[in-house]
Amino acid sequence: MKTPLLVTLFIVVIATAHGGDWGKSPVGKSPIVEECVDLGGEIGIGYQTDYIYRGLVAGGDTVVGSVNYTFAGLPLPITFGARYANVVATNKFANVFNDELTLSARVGLPTVAGIESSVSFSERFYPEDPDTAVWPSSHGEFGLHLSKDLNLAVVNFDAYYNSRLPNAWNGTIPTLANQENGAWYWELGLERQFDLFGQGFVVGGGVGYADNYWGVAPNAQSGGDSSGWNHYFLSASVPIELNCRTVLTPYLGYLGSPEGWLMDGAPDWAGRSAQSEMLHGGVNLSVSF
């Protein structure tokens, strides 16, 4: 069972976080000068117990790598990114994608009334050729992100428009007519960071809503709806600064879907029983340059 292992890993990483500080000189030695000029780049690698896409558990144990670069000297900052996720766990369903390559571009917009915003476009590819009868070989999405610091917490809002629906649940790729209708996904969340015993913690939570994003949900609990509340989520993470460039972040998350919501009873492609309530977690390592 994954739950005890997740909790144990989370505690061990936190307990050993201050076992040593990289980049600091040993006692009695001359100080080491660190060059921590941020050039706009970041490389990341991580492990996830479950691959989750818009609240849907699409796979089990997953290794993720990413690279991002921001051109900050432009009138509007532009970030280009590439992210590759490989599902390591063996799945028993033929229509599961085993990997995903995401190429993205994000443009930061001016801050208005304390609200930070950006627009983005992402194209997702599935190199290991999923069963295209239930999932497209690629699909793109436009996104809008809004964020405002309320002092007590940071509120985040994300909206996504997909012109080529995944629509995996109804068993067929959408027709061109259906694709022209498009699909929407919205997510609203709160996030708060605080210090405990000298270590930063980040806790958050939120809710997602989908409009025709999944086609028709094939379970009795949701009533075969194509639109409605999707899922809710809770998370806790510990960003540990190993040095001025490197951050190790273990995290725990909870995914829930009450009766009648779209993810209630959704297929769990990781080979377990249908998802509704699930604890998951992982760890990420990021290096800036």
Top-confidence residue, 116 or 138 = 116
Could you please state the CATH topology (level 3) that the domain comprising 2-15+44-288 is classified under: Porin (2.40.160)
Residue 95's pLDDT is 41
> For the residues of the chain, what is the DSSP string, one character each?
-HHHHHHHHHHHHHHTTTS--TTSPPTTSPPPPP-----SEEEEEEEESSEEETTEEEESSEEEEEEEEEETTSSS-EEEEEEEEEE-S--S-TT--SEEEEEEEEEEEEEETTEEEEEEEEEEE-TT---TTTS-SEEEEEEEEEEEE-SS-EEEEEEEEESS---GGGSSPPPHHHHHH-EEEEEEEEEEEEEETTEEEEEEEEEEEEESSSSS--STTTTT-SEEEEEEEEEEE--EESSSSEEEEEEEEEEE--TTSTTTTB--TTSSSPBSEEEEEEEEEEEE-
Stretch 250-260: mean pLDDT, rounded?
92
Percent of the chain with pLDDT over 70: 69
Q: Is the pLDDT of residue 220 over 90?
A: no
Residue 240's pLDDT is 94
Residue-wise pLDDT tens digits, 41-55 = 999 999 999 888 888
Q: Is the pLDDT of residue 126 over 50?
A: yes
Q: Is the pLDDT of residue 183 over 70?
A: yes
Residue 102's pLDDT is 94
Residue-wise pLDDT tens digits, 9-21 = 444 444 444 444 4
Domain positions in the chain: 2-15+44-288
